[in-house]
Amino acid sequence: MIEMHNWTIIDNQLPVTNSEALESIFTVGNGYLGVRGSYEDETISNTTTNHGVFINGFYETMPISYGEQAYGYPQERQSIISLPDATHIELFLNGLQVNQQNGHLSENIRQLSLKQGIMTHSFIWEENLSKNKIKVTFTRLVSFTRKHILAVHVEVKPLNFKKAILTVKSTLATNDLTINKNSDPRVANVDPAELLKNTEPIKALNPQTMGFIFPTKNSKLTALIAISHSIAGIVDKKTCTFTKELLIDQKPISFDKYACYFDTREDHKKSSLSTVEAELNACRNTGFEVLTHEQQLYLTDYWNKSDLHIANNYNNNLELESRFAMFQLLQSVGKDGNRGIAAKGLSSTGYDGHYFWDTEIYIMPLFTMTQPQIAKKLLINRFHQLSEALQHARQLGYKGALFPWRTINGKESSAYFPASTAAIHINADIMFAIQQYFYFTNDLQFMHQYGLKMLVEASRFYLSYGNWDTNKGFVLNTVTGPDEYTALINNNAYTNLMVKNQLEFLTSSFTFNDVANLGLTAAEWHKFKLAAAKMFITTEGNLIGQDDSFLTKPKIDLTKLKKSQYPLLLHFHPLYLYQHQVIKQADLILAMALMPYRFNLQQLQVNYNYYEPLTTHDSSLSRAAYAIVASQLDDQTAFNQMLQRAFSTDLTDGQHNTNEGLHTASMGGTWLVISLGLAHVRATQNNLLLDPILPPQWEAYVIPITYHGSQLKLSVSKRETNITLIAGKPVPVILNGKKVIF
Amino acid sequence: MIEMHNWTIIDNQLPVTNSEALESIFTVGNGYLGVRGSYEDETISNTTTNHGVFINGFYETMPISYGEQAYGYPQERQSIISLPDATHIELFLNGLQVNQQNGHLSENIRQLSLKQGIMTHSFIWEENLSKNKIKVTFTRLVSFTRKHILAVHVEVKPLNFKKAILTVKSTLATNDLTINKNSDPRVANVDPAELLKNTEPIKALNPQTMGFIFPTKNSKLTALIAISHSIAGIVDKKTCTFTKELLIDQKPISFDKYACYFDTREDHKKSSLSTVEAELNACRNTGFEVLTHEQQLYLTDYWNKSDLHIANNYNNNLELESRFAMFQLLQSVGKDGNRGIAAKGLSSTGYDGHYFWDTEIYIMPLFTMTQPQIAKKLLINRFHQLSEALQHARQLGYKGALFPWRTINGKESSAYFPASTAAIHINADIMFAIQQYFYFTNDLQFMHQYGLKMLVEASRFYLSYGNWDTNKGFVLNTVTGPDEYTALINNNAYTNLMVKNQLEFLTSSFTFNDVANLGLTAAEWHKFKLAAAKMFITTEGNLIGQDDSFLTKPKIDLTKLKKSQYPLLLHFHPLYLYQHQVIKQADLILAMALMPYRFNLQQLQVNYNYYEPLTTHDSSLSRAAYAIVASQLDDQTAFNQMLQRAFSTDLTDGQHNTNEGLHTASMGGTWLVISLGLAHVRATQNNLLLDPILPPQWEAYVIPITYHGSQLKLSVSKRETNITLIAGKPVPVILNGKKVIF
């Protein structure tokens, strides 16, 4: 579908196919703002398109409609909104629109540079009658350093004529905005066209600046979206249209377009409008080149700390695939402490732009290990939603806090509780990320300001949700684990292990005195310890039951299913799936991938052998975990297979739905596979532990790790294993069981 | 709220309160047609009203809207339709409408005669200015012998004046029709006003006959509703209005109104319209008195076979309450083999007019033991929906047939599968009713024509749903039992016991040869036997677990809840309820009530003691079962309490929702309490077993039973226990363990 060379993703197919998946792949963003990689003027091709510009966490609410209501169900659906698209630019040559109808494309290339943070789209177009030929290049960036800014540089180069009039029509496009096509059409959905009816033109001081005030109806948020150009033209502020006629005579001509997207969730001391105007003025004054330079600097620093090197004999793409993943994660992740990372990043309205447990379990490890300042902001975003989590638990009848299964604003937004609210492992997932963050950073201030309060309330919840069974110990009944093909079962092994881990972390890394000011009693503290110690896990010898009754259920022979029957959730009733030993995604195996030190090799082997054939990998979250455990077990065939499918999820459209957005969790999985599956990175409060292995078909890999503020590089090759201290003071490392200081 | 005397239910309150609950109580019907007991002209009072006329099984379908869709969910909601009300009659005295505004009511009485099958409404009205006083009496019946006929006799008696003009305006009223107010307003609902837009006037030959053709939009059914009067008047066929001016001079004047309700699900050889006209002509020709006479004869026969006598020292109402229940059940139950009995009878749109398991477990015993021809028709209705049940099982991924949890047309219509489709005991409930029907009637022809086919397919379903557990035997995992405060659990004791019963019934009362023609293999037959023998039930000594994990869950101290927190389902999230040992309605205790011979007394005692304090009785289906087991255990206090609450559910509005319709299952429960809780009636293929007891505070009771076609009467008093053969040949009876022939 696409080509990859030297830090660059390239689409140069003609005619263009599967354009909507490509639009997802060529998304540019900065974690606040994201823009799908659609054409500036889609009439140059005849493929379908889905424009989409998204502000992370800018959402509308709509009532949820239930077939059967019950007490305590969430009543509001939160949905990210597709905003007017500032990349839209139409060109006319001697009055004829530069499109498919009036001419012929002999070249059409989209390139996404992972080093520069720039998407270029260039094409050569020959007008049908005059045979006038031009090369058009759009260069697009969403600035990492100027949070609200999208910039487009336009260059038109005459290739075979002397003189012509080039007319530019540049707008804030409001047609073809992405809507959530995937969901039930009868479910209340946010139609951007509905919201557009309430927009008003902004009243900018600058006569060349125009835009919309874009208010939501129910969620009471407002976005300000404004554009301005580096050249003056005719401005229609009502329709947000900029028109300019330019004489094109042999030399290329170029201009810039700047857009500012700003929403009322942003802190601002001045009025929004003056902030927006000031940011646009600043862009026009500095110019596009400065923006690209800033972008470059930002990314140099990023890659310096987060780049992976992979060299192997059988798949040249792995390195670039993992870089693509790390780049898109950077583009998707909220960095201001008030926004998370959506399941589809900022590439679509898929999953309503919600934040899931994917954030903490699949995505955060990359940031925790290489960009802890970003990891911290994600955790602070959760902290800001703690009051909703406390309320959520109370509404359900429990103590403490239960974080929502899917949310933007901190309130639970899922409409089927057996596969959402019942997945109470969400708390432990977030606490796992806090543990990792703390171990990798030693950021005690964070723990006292944010972390411990979350830990205490999340632990209180579990103590009130669970109960004591005379024979079993501490049990967590009526839960749903990561595997959503089983629901409302007792003692999901993943959940219980993660909760045990959380309680042990809290009670062993901290003392009662550390949390006494949080209103915790000594009795509660004691119960935390006891529950951790007595946490129940079903076992049959080395085989661990995914839950109390999983092992007694009949199996489905997956080898007898047709390819067209996957994913199973689209072809089987939930009851049938719940009734069988069939797994959507890594569950117990995920616990093994995250905490291998809690299992012996025999347990890993027995359980991998048991659960792998039952797993459909119908979720893109699955294969990374299996790859990690396969690597532990030295099963190279399985490792390679799982890893290749995990790494290429979006670039090969492996789940057949990249058109509906990128799979951020799967991208996070690529980091997990290398760090946990090969380098075996693990932090404790006092040491960084590394037990790297090199698969036989691999030549080498290099992985960067930031531990307690110091930047390290682990290089593993056939010849040797090396750790280098790149920046910061020396830190204690245990390499292959031997303590060293780097 | 109401008075009860000598086979009559009386409402004579002034001013009227809680009118909508009374309208439910005063419903008249014949199992095909039902009419709420609302006033002919509701402007005589200022209470709210809910008109409603219902044809059993005449429904519209609407799409079900889900918060989250999944594969295999029912897509269509079936809803019974509230039809235009032919009881509507307005009277005017000298041009002034006989209503609250123009006059004063000094008496206003509704009476429902259980012996005559007639509802009368009479009132005395004095006009404000002239002080003219009249007594108006409406006598209403829905004929048991003329399936489609509703008739109203009107009498106006002048009380204190010589002459006046009485104007009659009689219509098919289409305002204030009952709609399902209880459900989520955002859920697609059938609004009769929407459907009314599609009606057309009928083209009757008789110039005095008028009416509507009333088609549904989606379900493709049509009703014909026509009215005709015993006197000629001005007829507006378009609005279906009959107007007549009558001179009223000292003598009472009277007239009749006949309505015919006929739907296209009826078999008819002639055209619908000519059938309707012929039925109305026949009524006019015979007259109202003949209709009342027919009604009387029908009910004499009914009471002869189904009347209970109760004499006790502490509650005079029990007898009349049980008669009310038996009368309303007769009025509600479909008798043509194409309609069932709805949860609310024909008294409202509550539960969408659906048929549930209530039919077989709570309601059918009355008919099976006293009116087996009606029981048979109910089972034949299920048989007619067997093909949908086969398809339902196939859609879910299983073999055989799974009957729907709630339905009119045989298709599953529930929107939350954990508390519906997962309640797979529905099959065993229906098969239990077949077993009872067969044992009480010895109707082998029914078994070969209908029963065995259902039994085989229902059993096949269980064999494919369940599986074999090495340690436990045959298990049925991921099910929901009668107690809906627990869902998707393993080995619900009620379910497993009922399935065991079903398989034993099939394989012990019949041979493989009996079913070989149904495509069953000998291997399947063998598995039926084996599954019955190895059916798993969780036990801890004498204590039986409601399911595999129920006993390990924490309890809720129900004594600490406020009254306002009931029913719990309106105040607690399902997850919280599922997590706790809290019970909505009799579950294991119901199995004990239905099959006491499967338990010893100690088991009954231990389990009653354990489960009773956990049970909220939030369902009106609960108390009858507890009363039966309390009686077995000779716990008079509990028995009396449960029985009194069960018997008076609607007449005292005990569930606070009789305004939304009658509770037919609770009514069926009154029969269950006497027959199973006191008389201990049980049929086997060869004997009728009776082990009657008399509670100490009771003087006597008499219960009729039809066994193998012979009608018996069991009289139990402080002095003696008597069985009498009323009709038919002698049959073998085992009375208190001693075989006798009556």
Would you call B397 and A552 a contact, using CB atoms and an 8 Å cutoff? no
Architecture per CATH, domain B303-727, reads as: Alpha/alpha barrel (1.50)
Nearest to A574 by CA among B475, B426, B70, B404: B70
Residue A181 pLDDT class (50, 70, 90 cuts): low
Q: CA-to-CA distance for A362 and A341, rounded, in angstroms? A: 11
Helix (H) or strand (E) holding A153: strand A149-158
Would you call A477 and B549 a contact, using CB atoms and an 8 Å cutoff? yes
Q: Which residue of A has its CA nearest to B73?
A: A573
Mean pLDDT for the stretch of residues B691-716: 96
Q: Which residue of A has its CA nearest to B565?
A: A71
Tell me the CA distances in angstroms from A470 to A467, A474, B11, B551, B554, one per residue in order. Answer: 10, 9, 57, 11, 12
Residue A268 pLDDT class (50, 70, 90 cuts): low
Question: What ipTM was predicted for this assembly?
Answer: 0.91
Q: Which residue of B has its CA nearest to A73?
A: B573
Mean pLDDT for the stretch of residues B222-226: 95
Across the interface, which of A478, A570, A572 has its CB nearest the CB of B575?
A478
Which of A471-475, B45-49, B316-320 is the least confident region? B45-49
- Out of B75-79, B215-219, B272-276, B383-387, give the one with best mean pLDDT: B383-387
Sort out which chain B residues have CB atoms less than 8 A from A419's CB and list them.
68
Sort out which chain B residues have CB atoms less than 8 A from A469's CB and list them.
552
Across the interface, which of A70, A395, A467 has its CB nearest the CB of B554?
A467
Average per-residue pLDDT for chain A: 94
> Phi/psi at A485 (nearest 5 deg)?
-85, 10
- d(CA A687, nearest CA chain B) in Å: 41
Comparison of pLDDT for A359 and A4, the residue scoring more: A359
Would you call A575 and B396 a contact, using CB atoms and an 8 Å cutoff? yes
pLDDT of residue B189: 62
Helix (H) or strand (E) holding A707: strand A698-707
Mean pLDDT for the stretch of residues B480-484: 97
Q: CA-to-CA distance for B430 and B616, rounded, in angstroms? A: 26
Would you call A67 and B70 a contact, using CB atoms and an 8 Å cutoff? no
Which of A640-644, B496-500, B682-686 is the least confident region? A640-644
Residue type present at position B701: Y
Report the residue of A61, A66, A79 to disrupt the B interface, i.e. the one with the largest count of B CBs within 10 Å: A66
Q: DSSP 3-state assignment of B231? A: coil
Candidates 2.120.10.30, 2.40.420.20, 2.70.98.40, 2.70.70.10; CATH matching A3-63+76-270: 2.70.98.40
pTM exceeding the 0.90 threshold for the entire prediction: yes
Q: Which residue of B has its CA nearest to A62?
A: B67
Nearest to A685 by CA among A510, A461, A541: A510
Would you call B548 and A553 a contact, using CB atoms and an 8 Å cutoff? no
Mean pLDDT for the stretch of residues A308-333: 92
Comparison of pLDDT for B109 and A2, the residue scoring more: B109
pLDDT of residue B739: 93
Which of A224-228, B18-22, B23-27, B394-398 is the least confident region? B18-22
pLDDT at residue B449 greater than cutoff 50: yes
Instruction: Render pLDDT for A345-390 as a digit per residue (tens, 0 to 9).
Output: 999 999 999 999 999 999 999 999 999 999 999 999 999 999 999 9
Q: CA-to-CA distance for A332 and A344, rounded, in angstroms? A: 8
Would you call B487 and A488 a contact, using CB atoms and an 8 Å cutoff? yes
Residue A300, token pair as written in the block: 């140099």
Domain spans of chain A?
3-63+76-270, 305-727
- d(CA A562, nearest CA chain B) in Å: 15
- d(CA A72, nearest CA chain B) in Å: 5
Report the residue of A182, A395, A573 to disrupt the B interface, i.e. the one with the largest count of B CBs within 10 Å: A573
Helix (H) or strand (E) holding A462: helix A452-465
Instruction: Render pLDDT for A329-353 as a digit per residue (tens, 0 to 9).
Output: 999 999 999 999 999 999 999 999 9
Q: CA-to-CA distance for A143 and A296, rounded, in angstroms? A: 10
pLDDT of residue A687: 96
Comparison of pLDDT for B176 and B317, the residue scoring more: B317
* Percent of chain A surpassing pLDDT 90: 86
Angle, vertex CA A502, rays to CA A499 and CA A503, nearest 5: 90
pLDDT of residue A555: 95
Mean pLDDT for the stretch of residues A59-68: 91
| CB neighbour list of residue A231: distance below 8 Å, 6 or more residues apart | A244, A255
pLDDT of residue A65: 87
pLDDT of residue A271: 80
Pairs of residues, one from chain A and one from chain B, whose beta carbons lie less than 8 Å apart: 158
- d(CA B470, nearest CA chain A) in Å: 8
> Could you tell me whether strands A241-248 and A234-236 are parallel, antiparallel, or unpaired per DSSP bridges?
antiparallel
Q: Which residue of A has its CA nearest to B68?
A: A415
pLDDT of residue B185: 38
Helix (H) or strand (E) holding A300: helix A288-306
Residue B123, token pair as written in the block: 């009132």
Instruction: Render pLDDT for B668-685 as a digit per residue (tens, 0 to 9).
Output: 999 999 999 999 999 999
pLDDT at residue B184 greater than cutoff 60: no
Across the interface, which of A63, A415, A549 has its CB nearest the CB of B490?
A549
Mean pLDDT for the stretch of residues A126-150: 97
Which of A404-408, A458-462, B643-647 is the least confident region? B643-647
Sort out which chain B residues have CB atoms less than 8 A from A549's CB and list them.
477, 490, 548
End-to-end alpha carbon distance in chain B:
43
Architecture per CATH, domain B3-61+77-179+227-271, reads as: Distorted Sandwich (2.70)
Across the interface, which of A395, A469, A549 has its CB nearest the CB of B552?
A469
Cβ–Cβ under 8 Å, residues B696 and B312: no
Residue A195, token pair as written in the block: 């919201």
Average per-residue pLDDT for chain B: 94
Across the interface, which of A67, A487, A488 has its CB nearest the CB of B64?
A67
pLDDT at residue A182 greater than cutoff 80: no
**Catalytic annotation present for A484:** yes
Q: DSSP 3-state assignment of A42? A: helix
Q: CA-to-CA distance for B440 and B709, rounded, in angstroms? A: 8
Mean pLDDT for the stretch of residues A513-532: 96
Mean pLDDT for the stretch of residues A623-632: 95
Q: Which residue of B has its CA nearest to A392?
A: B573
Give the active site residue among A319, A457, A484, A660: A484
Would you call A573 and B548 a contact, using CB atoms and an 8 Å cutoff? no
Architecture per CATH, domain A305-727, reads as: Alpha/alpha barrel (1.50)
Sort out which chain A residues have CB atoms less than 8 A from B552's CB and list them.
467, 469, 472, 475, 477, 490
- Out of A301-315, A725-739, B180-194, give the one with best mean pLDDT: A725-739
Helix (H) or strand (E) holding B275: helix B272-286
Cβ–Cβ under 8 Å, residues A86 and A280: no
* Cα A80 to the center of its chain, rounded Å: 14
Sort out which chain B residues have CB atoms less than 8 A from A467's CB and list them.
552-554
Tell me the CA distances in angstroms from A633 to A277, A600, A636, A693, A737, one per residue in order. Answer: 58, 11, 8, 11, 19
Report the residue of B470, B477, B540 to disrupt the A interface, i.e. the one with the largest count of A CBs within 10 Å: B477
> Could you tell me whether strands A241-248 and A253-263 are parallel, antiparallel, or unpaired per DSSP bridges?
unpaired
HSE at residue A269, side-chain half, CA atoms within 13 A, is: 0
Would you call A186 and B549 a contact, using CB atoms and an 8 Å cutoff? no
Residue B183 pLDDT class (50, 70, 90 cuts): very low
pLDDT of residue A669: 95
Residue B484 pLDDT class (50, 70, 90 cuts): very high
Sort out which chain B residues have CB atoms less than 8 A from A77's CB and list them.
67
- d(CA A557, nearest CA chain B) in Å: 14
Q: Which residue of B has its CA nearest to A185?
A: B65
Across the interface, which of A65, A552, A579 has its CB nearest the CB of B67?
A65
Report the residue of A76, A546, A552 to disrupt the B interface, i.e. the one with the largest count of B CBs within 10 Å: A552
Alpha helices in A125-232 (DSSP H): 192-196
Residue B533, token pair as written in the block: 């023998």
pLDDT of residue B144: 98
Sort out which chain A residues have CB atoms less than 8 A from B415's CB and list them.
66-68
Q: CA-to-CA distance for B337 and B374, rounded, in angstroms? A: 9
HSE at residue B411, side-chain half, CA atoms within 13 A, is: 15
- d(CA A556, nearest CA chain B) in Å: 11
pLDDT at residue B180 greater than cutoff 60: no
Residue type present at position A640: N
Residue A716 pLDDT class (50, 70, 90 cuts): very high
Cβ–Cβ under 8 Å, residues B648 and B633: no
Q: Which residue of A has its CA nearest to B470?
A: A552
Q: Which residue of A has its CA nearest to B418?
A: A575
Would you call B186 and A65 a contact, using CB atoms and an 8 Å cutoff? yes
- d(CA B66, nearest CA chain A) in Å: 5
Sort out which chain A residues have CB atoms less than 8 A from B414's CB and list them.
68
Would you call A415 and B478 a contact, using CB atoms and an 8 Å cutoff? no
Would you call B569 and A183 a contact, using CB atoms and an 8 Å cutoff? no
Q: Which residue of A has its CA nearest to B548?
A: A549
- d(CA B71, nearest CA chain A) in Å: 5
pLDDT of residue A67: 87
Q: CA-to-CA distance for A346 and A331, rounded, in angstroms? A: 8
Instruction: Render pLDDT for B365-409 as a digit per residue (tens, 0 to 9).
Output: 999 999 999 999 999 999 999 999 999 999 999 999 999 999 999
Instruction: Render pLDDT for B127-162 as a digit per residue (tens, 0 to 9).
Output: 999 999 999 999 999 999 999 999 999 999 999 999
- d(CA A287, nearest CA chain B) in Å: 47
Cβ–Cβ under 8 Å, residues B291 and B143: yes
Q: CA-to-CA distance for A363 and A347, rounded, in angstroms? A: 16
Give the active site residue among B23, B319, B484, B660: B484
- d(CA B196, nearest CA chain A) in Å: 25
Q: CA-to-CA distance for A705 and B117, rounded, in angstroms? A: 86
Would you call A70 and B573 a contact, using CB atoms and an 8 Å cutoff? yes
Mean pLDDT for the stretch of residues B350-360: 95
Mean pLDDT for the stretch of residues B193-204: 86
Across the interface, which of B67, B421, B422 has its CB nearest the CB of A416?
B67
